[in-house]
Amino acid sequence: MAQQAEIHVSRKIFEGAQAPSADQPAAPATRQHVWFASDFGGGTAPSPTFEWQLHGTYSHQGKIATGTAHVFLAPGHRNLERPLILADGFNYGPSDLPGLWEHFDKKEGGRFLTRLRDSGIDVILLGFDERHTYIQANAGVAAACIDRAAAERIGSEPLIVGGVSMGGMITRYALARMESENLDHQTGTYFSWDTPHNGAWIPLILQQMAYFFEAFIPEDPDQPKQAELIRSPAAQQLLWAWVENSKYEGPVATASPLRAEFLQELQNYGNFPARPRKIGVANGHGAGVGLKLTPGETAFDWKDQYNTVSAKAVVQPDMGEKEPIGSMHIALEIRRSSTTAVPALDGVPGGTLGSFGMVAKALDIEVDERFNSTCFVPAVSAVALDFDPATWDIDPALDISTIGRDRSHLDDFLCDSENSPHSEPTPALTDFLVDRFVS
Output b/e per residue, 155-181; b: 16+ Cβ within 10 A: eebbbbbbbbbbbbbbbbbbbbbbbee
Q: How far apart are CA 11 and CA 248, in angstroms?
A: 11
Phi, psi of 303 (to 5 degrees): -145, 155
Q: Report the pLDDT value the prediction gives residue 216, as an integer from 0 to 100.
A: 77
Contact 84, 70 (CB under 8 A): no
- pLDDT per position in the chain (439 positions), as tens? 468 999 999 988 755 555 555 455 555 555 556 778 766 666 678 999 999 999 999 999 998 999 999 999 999 999 999 999 999 999 999 999 999 999 999 999 999 999 999 999 999 999 999 999 999 999 999 999 999 999 999 999 999 999 999 999 999 999 999 999 999 999 999 999 999 999 999 999 999 999 998 877 776 777 788 889 999 999 999 999 999 999 999 999 999 999 999 999 999 999 999 999 999 999 999 999 999 999 999 999 998 877 788 999 999 999 999 999 999 998 878 899 999 999 999 999 999 999 998 888 888 888 899 999 999 999 999 999 999 999 999 999 999 999 988 999 999 999 999 999 999 999 999 999 999 999 8
Strands 277-285 and 187-193: parallel
Q: How many residues does the chain have?
A: 439
Q: Which residues make beta-bridge pairs with 336?
A: 10, 327
Per-residue model confidence (pLDDT) at position 366: 84
CB 35 within 8 A of CB 232: no
For the sheet with 298-303, list strands across it. 250-251, 6-13, 333-340, 323-330, 309-314, 298-303
Interhelix angle 166-180/135-152, nearest 10 degrees: 70
What is the pLDDT, as a whole number, of residue 1? 41
Please state the separation of Cα 147 from the chain's center in Å: 26
**Half-sphere exposure for 190 (CA within 13 Å, toward CB):** 25
> ∠ CA(272), CA(276), CA(282), 5° rounding?
65
What type of residue sits at position 215? A
Q: What's CA 299's distance to the chain center, in Å?
A: 22
CA angle 191, 110, 112 (to 5 degrees): 40
Per-residue pLDDT at 365: 84
Dihedrals φ, ψ of 352, to 5°?
A: -100, 155
Give the model's pLDDT for residue 407.
95
